[in-house]
């Protein structure tokens, strides 16, 4: 059934000289280069983000994809074709029990109680200084993690030099 989803059924012999695979690869490469050229014409990634280019491209692609699925131009086995009549699909929703939450909170409190406060403060200061000076943050993140600095604490210290980014919806 994967044949429908990959498009392999559109060729008499898809592996004959790997023509089909090469053709699909060439098409994907050409489309990727077209997108890279478009991003370059906007001035690069940062201006493209600021103008909402990526957000719009993702929204447009998702809309076009869903239309193809709805019109059965794109077959997804078990979703829009080859569906079992009266099939009941029970997809369990992940829930975190209060016991698991309590255990995780206790573990975090234990880590915070038993780590070195001096090392934590020094690590947070190193992160802040690296961010303000434009230095590579990865080494200081690794050192901070080794000193049991939490991700939340690392993020909080970065808010001062970098601020908080809020993406605007662009459609």
pLDDT > 90 in the chain, percent: 69
Q: Is the pLDDT of residue 35 over 60?
A: yes
pLDDT value at residue 8: 72
pLDDT > 70 in the chain, percent: 95
Q: Where are the domains of the chain?
A: 2-70, 98-162
**CA atoms within a 13 Å half-sphere pointing along the CA-CB vector of 134:** 0
pLDDT value at residue 1: 52
Can you spell out the DSSP letters for 47-113?
HHHHTTHHHHHHHHHHHHHHHHHHTTSS--BTTTBSPPTTPPP--PPP---HHHHHHHHHHHHHHHH
pLDDT class of 86 with cuts at 50, 70, 90: confident
pLDDT class of 17 with cuts at 50, 70, 90: low
- The residue-averaged pLDDT of 143-158 equals 97
pTM for this model (two decimals): 0.57
Mean pLDDT taken over the chain: 91
Task: Tell me the per-residue pLDDT of 92-147, one tens digit each, with 9 for 90 and over.
Answer: 999 999 999 999 999 999 999 999 999 999 999 999 999 999 999 999 999 999 99
pLDDT value at residue 98: 96
CB of 141 closer than 8 Å to CB of 154: yes
pLDDT class of 84 with cuts at 50, 70, 90: confident
Q: Is the pLDDT of residue 167 over 90?
A: no
pLDDT value at residue 59: 93
pLDDT value at residue 3: 66
């Amino acid at each position: 059934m994967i044949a429908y989803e990959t498009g392999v059924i559109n060729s008499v012999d898809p592996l004959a000289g790997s023509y089909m695979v090469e053709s699909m690869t060439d098409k994907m490469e050409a489309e990727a280069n077209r997108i890279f050229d478009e991003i370059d014409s906007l001035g690069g990634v940062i201006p493209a983000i600021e103008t909402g280019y990526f957000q719009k491209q993702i929204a447009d692609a998702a809309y076009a994809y869903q239309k193809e699925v709805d019109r059965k131009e794109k077959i997804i086995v078990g979703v829009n074709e080859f569906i079992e009549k009266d099939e009941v699909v029970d997809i369990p929703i992940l829930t975190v029990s209060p016991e698991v939450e309590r255990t995780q909170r206790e573990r975090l409190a234990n880590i915070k109680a038993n780590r070195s406060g001096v090392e934590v403060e020094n690590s947070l200061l190193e992160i802040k200084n690296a961010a303000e000076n434009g230095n590579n943050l990865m080494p200081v993140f690794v050192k901070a993690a080794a000193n049991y600095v939490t991700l939340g604490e690392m993020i909080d210290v970065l808010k001062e030099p970098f601020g908080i980014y809020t993406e605007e919806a662009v459609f």
